[in-house]
Amino acid sequence: MKMVCLRQAAQVFVVTGLVVGVCATSSTTASAMENSRVGSSRHIASTLSPQLVLRGSAQELPGNIVQLTDDLGQAGAAWSAQPVSVLGGLSATFRFRILPDPDCCADGFAFVIQNDKRGTKALAGGGGEEGFAQDTPVGIHPPPAQRGIKNGVAVEFDTFYNACWSSPCRPGSVSDPFDEHISVLARTLNRRLSADEKFSLGLTTSIPDLTTGAEHAVEIIYRPGTLTIALDQSSVLTVPLNLPKKMILPNGTAYVGFTGSTGGYAQTPQIRDFSVTSS
Ligand SMILES: [Ca+2]
């Protein structure tokens, strides 16, 4: 277990510093399986400071940057050390960049609200599962440490095209739009999250290339009934969302944070200036 610096005031969490990123392109045509079944079980067990708990490949860089991945076959997560009040509303802001990578461009990262029973130990599959999901082909049973997060909502920033990996295409096989996209993924109570866009509450491909190394500002606002995502001060996606319908909420709270993963291609996403404010 590893902690990252953050300041806390009431229900406000702030991580200051710089972001780390990685590359990815929306035009990649490699198959889903090429970048979907390479999970990571590496566990970092150091303690830096008391607010964000880091798992898997996630690490803190100088300047209070949270870097989720930086090599092939990884999955990493960073979670608030304590649950945050979310039932009445939530505003999360952060900045990120994805550094250009000579080995291409996968898979992205996600902002996640979750109440998996693993708490701050929650982490799921690599590759197209982006550290939060489980999209397992029939007959494959991932180990417990790579099983999809239950009771969560993920706002994914997906930089790699995963085509449907079953024929005929069935739920749980992922089936990305060809271009980079932001998507809100959720299921029902006590179901594991999936990166399959069939479970998307809404998505957009009308976004800039996220993989150039440029820094982007994100604001995610939940008001009971609606989730809105703004990128670089422009609203890009609004979806209907009622959190109690999607996840259990003990005392109206949940863990918030980030997951990311790589598979057969690598990527280096970096997060900074993370702040969460409850309504
Ligand atoms: Ca993908």
Distance in angstroms (rounded) separating the CA atoms of residues 275 and 279: 13
Centroid of ligand 1 to alpha carbon of 96 (angstroms): 18
pLDDT band of residue 143 (cuts 50, 70, 90) is confident
- The secondary structure of 195-222 as a DSSP string is --GGGEEEEE--S--TTSS-EEEEEEEE
Total number of domains constituting the chain: 1
Centroid of ligand 1 to alpha carbon of 36 (angstroms): 8
pLDDT above 80 (res 240): yes
The neighbour count for residue 247, using CB atoms within 10 Å, is 24
pLDDT above 80 (res 70): yes
Centroid of ligand 1 to alpha carbon of 175 (angstroms): 8
In a domain, 255, yes or no: no
Containing domain of residue 39, as a range? 2-11+26-250+261-278
pLDDT at residue number 276: 92
In a domain, 18, yes or no: no
Structure tokens at 225: 């009934």
Per-chain mean pLDDT for the chain: 82
In a domain, 16, yes or no: no
In a domain, 60, yes or no: yes
In a domain, 19, yes or no: no
Centroid of ligand 1 to alpha carbon of 218 (angstroms): 19
The mean pLDDT of 90-96, rounded to a whole number, is 95
Centroid of ligand 1 to alpha carbon of 107 (angstroms): 6
Distance in angstroms (rounded) separating the CA atoms of residues 152 and 246: 7
In a domain, 61, yes or no: yes
In a domain, 256, yes or no: no
The neighbour count for residue 168, using CB atoms within 10 Å, is 6
Centroid of ligand 1 to alpha carbon of 253 (angstroms): 29
Contact by Cβ (8 Å): 182, 237? yes
Centroid of ligand 1 to alpha carbon of 251 (angstroms): 33
DSSP 8-state code for residue 153: E
pLDDT at residue number 34: 36
Assign residue 180 the CATH number of its domain: 2.60.120.200
Centroid of ligand 1 to alpha carbon of 211 (angstroms): 13
Q: Report pLDDT digits (tens) over 167-215.
A: 777 766 778 999 999 999 999 999 999 999 989 999 999 999 999 999 9
The mean pLDDT of 141-150, rounded to a whole number, is 88
Centroid of ligand 1 to alpha carbon of 23 (angstroms): 13
Distance in angstroms (rounded) separating the CA atoms of residues 67 and 153: 21
Distance in angstroms (rounded) separating the CA atoms of residues 88 and 278: 7
Which residues are paired to 167 by β-bridges? none
Centroid of ligand 1 to alpha carbon of 108 (angstroms): 7
